[in-house]
Structure 1
């Protein structure tokens, strides 16, 4: 009899333990499902940051040409033209700028047996490029605007697409943190709009992916003004 009572008590205790375990598991599972659903509630948006900056570096290739019938005379004319360009740059406070001259490209116009009646007046021509590198943007712009004065000094400048000045913005690493923060704020504003439409609020960032920074000139007439742009992709949690 006592043995049967013990067995019955053991069965009751086992059943109670099982019931408690089932209830606890249900609570834990319900909480886990709730957390999973909360984790699954997010919105994906893109944020844009765009800002103008002045260029801080310029490369100006000054191309010129000379002609002569004798090579020594041709070399002398190259040196004379370069000296005039150097003096012109000094007049525009660019004497300290980094300047390099390319090897002249010499053409012999009589080398291919051209008809004597069709030969140009000078046998040789040479084209050289004096490249100016400077951080004095406004001084270079002023010199570029006044470069026609070199023609009056006998310097034959060559204007072509191959020798366009190039303005650069080199401080990208300095402005990156500010730009990324601005793009993230813009993304959160977009997320807030989505959240308002769904009756939710925006929580913390789930994931964020930085886009590529681009640097372009503002317009064809202002190459010294640069537009820095970045787009970020951000996932925000949504909360009730």
Structure 2
């Protein structure tokens, strides 16, 4: 290159001779990237392009919850197990209604029965057969706060002698499709700002987008640093962090 070339021209020439650089994406890692920030994915120097990774994070509140409580009844026959189950289910449903869970939010699932043989440990002879009948109670509601509170109090039924299995409520966000579009747009805008900052150091500018790749879409517990190459959707908490990642290639002007 001629000695009279400017510093910016020399930097651009160096970028075009440099092999591709790939820097590990540090989105949500060790607190280095905060909501709405961007991690550089790399510079692809095929002729006149630059590729960066943009990320946008936002905290959202779940607007729906699914929850299952399973009641059991035991007996020496299938009929006896069912007869033992029925009043316990009534007590469990009554408890939910007392906690202001609407009747429309409560459904009874399909009853399941199973048996277990009790045998003599020495001879293997059959002593008796015990039957267990299970009734799932399905709760679905948009009042996530109410169901969250009830799920913490349902253990009172155990103290009252009701044999139940309690599953963790699953909190979801029903407007995810709309939110996904918004988050990807913000991630793309962040990628553009990062690309402009990098190009400016070389005395260049950023032109049109030549390629855009949707990366991972993560829904995690607040402040989580876990990342999955396939994306994730955590349902254990009402509040969540939603993160969209975009890899965007721009033309360098």
**TM-score between the two structures when normalised by the length of structure 1:** 0.70
Alignment equivalent of 2:246, drawn from 229, 232, 235: 232
- Is this contact kept in 2: 1:105–1:126, CA < 8 A? yes
- Is this contact kept in 1: 2:54–2:247, CA < 8 A? yes
**TM-score between the two structures when normalised by the length of structure 2:** 0.67
Separation in structure 2 between the aligned mates of residue 167 and residue 129 of structure 1, nearest angstrom: 19
Correspondence 1:1-40 to 2 at 5 A: 40=47
Which one scores higher on RCO, CA 8 angstroms, separation ≥ 6?
A: 1
Pair member with larger Rg: 1
**Cα pair distance change 1:225/1:66, threshold 3 Å:** same
- Is this contact kept in 2: 1:84–1:153, CA < 8 A? no
Hey, what does 2:196 align to over in structure 1?
Answer: 192
Alignment equivalent of 2:150, drawn from 113, 124, 143: 143
- Give per-residue Cα distances to partners, 1:110-142, cap 9 Å, x unaligned: 4x567799968x833333322222222111111
Separation in structure 1 between the aligned mates of residue 236 and residue 79 of structure 2, nearest angstrom: 42
Alignment equivalent of 1:181, drawn from 181, 185, 188: 185
Unaligned runs of at least 5 residues, structure 1: 1-36
- Give per-residue Cα distances to partners, 1:49-91, cap 9 Å, x unaligned: 1212111222211122222335444222211111111111112
Unaligned runs of at least 5 residues, structure 2: 1-15, 17-45, 225-233
- Is this contact kept in 2: 1:64–1:158, CA < 8 A? yes
Hey, what does 1:14 align to over in structure 2?
Answer: none
Q: CA RMSD in A?
A: 3.1
Which consecutive aligned stretches of 4+ in structure 1 deviate over 4 angstroms post-superposition?
112-120, 219-222
Separation in structure 2 between the aligned mates of residue 129 and residue 182 of structure 1, nearest angstrom: 42
Query: Which has a greater percent of strand?
Result: 2
Hey, what does 2:110 align to over in structure 1?
Answer: 102
Query: Which has a greater percent of helix?
Result: 1
Separation in structure 2 between the aligned mates of residue 43 and residue 123 of structure 1, nearest angstrom: 69
How many residue pairs get matched?
197
- Is this contact kept in 2: 1:105–1:128, CA < 8 A? no
Separation in structure 2 between the aligned mates of residue 227 and residue 154 of structure 1, nearest angstrom: 39
